Structure 1
Amino acid sequence: MDVFYYALVGLLLAGYLALESVDFGIGMLLPFADTELGRARMRRTVVPLFLANEVWLVAFGGLLFGALPLLEGELLYALRLPFLVVLCAWFLRDAALWFRTAHPGVGWRRTWDTVLPAASLVLAAGWGTVLATLIRGLSTNGGGHAVADPADLAHPFTLLCEVLAVAGCLRQGSLFAAHSLPEGNALRVRFGRLTRVLTPILLVLLVLTGGVGAVVTDAPVPVVLVAVLAAAGVYGSDRVQATGRTGAALLLGAAPLAALPVMVGAANGTTVLATRSGEGSLELSQAIADSASLALLSVTVLPVLVAVVYGQLWIWRVFARVPRRLT
């Protein structure tokens, strides 16, 4: 039961990143639209979806608090700076999506058109930072607590995971935009080309991430295996997209984003908060809630999660359709 809930927490985070990768990518790609109509069209492709996608992050935080309460506190302490940056970028990204149309002024809209790609970039890179430090293992401060010091945040593996997360989101965004924009639209053609350019770049980044991850962790084989599977997903996404099945291509293309949370477990096993020295590490047996709390979660949270999955599928079926004309 302990491992099940730890894996479920990771699955929720992986699901959030896989879904939000589309939103992050669309946000970063907004400058590609050089007309007001194009920018409005790009914004409308994700506005119906991003709130539903964020439900997965809320579920992740709630289950983390309920099933692994000690881990939540230690995690927020160790990664307080990256989490603060991610939180601020999250607020700004959502504000840009909501507030852009609240005022007709040109300056107002240009401001939010600048905030949206910048905040989306920080969000993608920020999650790459958080997960890279967890994969590699944290430092330990003088009090024996796990922390992410400046050297951890600037480590080559951390930077590599940031670039991987950004590239993965860009590819997902370009793929979704090419699917969502009308036939014959110039932006659709442009994003189709960008998707093809990003595919080999992402494959190279995954090879590098697996190779460097094998060197900086104590579990080289599982880390490399996760990277290889993610690369296979990207390659399969490219092949499937060529047949016109964009939904399946998006699902497979999310593999690099989902791979990062999986690498945390692959590298550290049941050490839910790993440090390189071993001091300040937190084992699953120490972090997990008591059996009564887990039993309560089983009868309350799990049915809700099933409903969330079905609701997510319905929202994507309704709002992610290809428009027939530009309006």
Structure 2
Amino acid sequence: MDVFWYALVGLLLAGYLALESIDFGVGMLLPLADTEPGRADMRRTVVPLFLANEVWLVAFAGLLFGALPLLEGELLYALRLPIVVLLSAWFLRDAALWFRSAHPGAGWRRSWDIVLPVTSLVLAAGWGAVLATLVRGLSLHGNGQAVATAADLVHPFTLLCAALAVAGSLRQGSLFVSRNLPRDGALSVRLGRLNQALTPALLVLLALTAAVGAAVTDAPVAVAVVAALGAVGVYVSGLLRSAGRTTAALLLGAAPLLALPVMVGVANGTTVLATRSGEGELALSRAIADSASLGLLTVTVLPALIAVVLGQLWIWRVFARTTA
């Protein structure tokens, strides 16, 4: 059962990244719209969805606290700098989506049109960097606690995974926006060209991730297999897009984002917080909550998660329809 709860926490994070990658991508792509109506249209494609997508992050944090309370505290300490950056970018990104249309002034809208792509880029790259750091293993602080140092956050593998998350989000955003644009429009053409370039770029990034990840982890085969599966998802997604099956392409296009949290699990196994030296690590058996707490979670959280999934399906069915 311990592994079940740990896997469920990871599944919630993977679901958040898969869904929010669309929002990150649309935000980063905003500068491609060179007219005010075009920018407004792009923003409107994600406004009905982004809060529902963020529910997965809230659920992840809540279940992490309930099922793995010791791990949450250790993560907050080890990743305190990137977490502050991610939270700040999250608040500003949401503010840009909400406040851009709250005032008619051109300067007001231009300011938020800068904030939205920048914070979306920080969020996508930040999540890629955080997960890469966990895959590779943390450093050891002088007090014996695991911590992500500045060197960890700029390691080549970390930067590679950050680029992978950014490229994957851009591709997902371009696919999603294209569903709601006239096929012969200038913006649709630009997004199509970008998407064509991103597909091979993602395949290269995944190949590099497999190679470098295999060199810096103790589970080279498992990490390489996960990256290879991500590459298969991207390749098949490209074929589906060419066949006009955009929804299926979006589903498989999330593979690079899903690969990152999966790599954390396959690289470290039941060591839920790994260090490169092996000291200061946290095993699942120590991090898991007591049986009484897990029993309470079983009767409260699991039904709520089912309701969240059903609600998410309804929201996407209603608000993510293709209009062009």
- Return the TM-score normalized by structure 2: 0.99
Structure 2 residue aligned with 1:124: 124
Partners of 2:29 and 2:170 within 8 A in 1: yes
Which residue does 1:16 correspond to in 2? 16
Partner of 1:144: 144
Q: Give deviations 1:140-199, integer Å, cap 9, x for gaps.
A: 011100000111011000010110000000000111111122343221221112111100
Please tell me the residue identity of whatever aligns with 1:169: S
User: In the alignment, which residue of structure 2 is the partner of 1:159?
Assistant: 159
**Which residue number corresponds to residue 58 of structure 2?**
58
| In structure 1, distance between residues paired with 2:26 and 2:310 | 24
Measured in 1, the distance between the counterparts of 2:201 and 2:163 equals 10
- Deviation readout 1:24-51 (Å, 9 max, x if unpaired): 0000000000000000000000000100
- How many residues are paired up? 324
Per the alignment, residue 211 of structure 1 pairs with 211
Q: Is residue 106 of structure 1 aligned with residue 87 of structure 2?
A: no
2: CA distance, partners of 1:242 / 1:153 = 37
**CA–CA separation in structure 2 for the residues paired with 1:55 and 1:212:** 33
Alpha carbons 2:179, 2:323 under 8 Å: kept: no
User: Please, what is the CA RMSD of the aligned residues?
Assistant: 0.7
Q: Deviations over 1:244-266 (max 9, x none)?
A: 11111101000000110000001
Give 1:241 deviation, angstroms. 1.2
Residues 264-312 of structure 1: per-residue CA shift (max 9 Å, x gap):
0010000000000111100000000001111111111001111111111
Q: Please give the alpha-carbon distance, in whole angstroms, between the structure 2 residues aligned to 1:79 and 1:265.
A: 18
- In structure 1, the partner of 2:308 is 308
Q: Within 5 Å, which residues of 2 pair with 1:189-200?
A: 189-200=189-200
Aligned AA for 2:277? Answer: S
Partner-residue secondary structure (3-state), 2:143: coil
The residue matched to 2:313 in structure 1 has which SS? Answer: helix
The unaligned stretches of length 5 or more in structure 1 are: none
- AA aligned opposite 2:26: I
8 Å Cα contact 1:222-1:266 kept in structure 2: yes
Residue pair 1:182, 1:322 contacting (<8 A) in 2 also: no
Counterpart-to-counterpart distance in 2, 1:180 and 1:278: 50
1:1-327 matched pairs, under 5 angstroms: 1-324=1-324
Q: Secondary structure at the match of 1:29?
A: helix
Matched-pair identity in %: 77
Distance in structure 2 (CA, Å) of the matches to 1:17 and 1:188: 25
Tell me the amino acid that sits aligned with residue 167 of structure 1.
Answer: A
Shift of residue 202, structure 1, vs aligned partner: 0.3
SS of residue paired to 1:272: strand
Provide the rounded CA distance (Å) in 1 between the counterparts of 2:10 and 2:180. Answer: 29
What is the TM-score with the length of structure 1 in the denominator?
0.98
Q: Distance in 2 between matches of 1:70 and 1:181?
A: 47
Please tell me whether the aligned partners of residues 20 and 53 of structure 1 are also in contact (alpha carbons under 8 angstroms). yes
Per the TM alignment, residue 321 of structure 1 is displaced from its structure 2 partner at its CA by 1.1
Q: C-alpha distance in 2, partners of 1:202/1:129? A: 16
How far is 1:322 from its partner? Answer: 1.5
Following the alignment from structure 2 to structure 1, what is the Cα–Cα distance between the partners of residues 21 and 217? 26
Match of 2:48, SS state, is: helix
Paired residue secondary structure (2:71): helix
* Structure 2: distance between partners of 1:320 and 1:186: 22
Whether the aligned pair in 2 keeps the contact of 1:144 and 1:279 (CA below 8 Å) is yes
Q: Partners of 1:315 and 1:184 in 2: how far apart?
A: 28
Which residue identity lines up with residue 78 of structure 2 in the other structure? A
Question: For the residues of structure 2 that align with 1:256 and 1:183, how far apart are their CA atoms?
Answer: 26
Instruction: For residues 88-132 of structure 1, give each alpha carbon's deviation from its aligned partner in whole angstroms, at most 9, with x where no partner exists.
Output: 000000000000001000000000000000000000010011101
Report the secondary structure of 1:180's partner residue.
coil
* Counterpart-to-counterpart distance in 1, 2:309 and 2:144: 40
CA distance in 2, matches of 1:139, 1:282: 13
Which whole-Å CA distance do the structure 2 matches of 1:298 and 1:192 have between them? 45
Indicate conservation of the 8 Å contact 1:179/1:188, yes or no. Answer: no
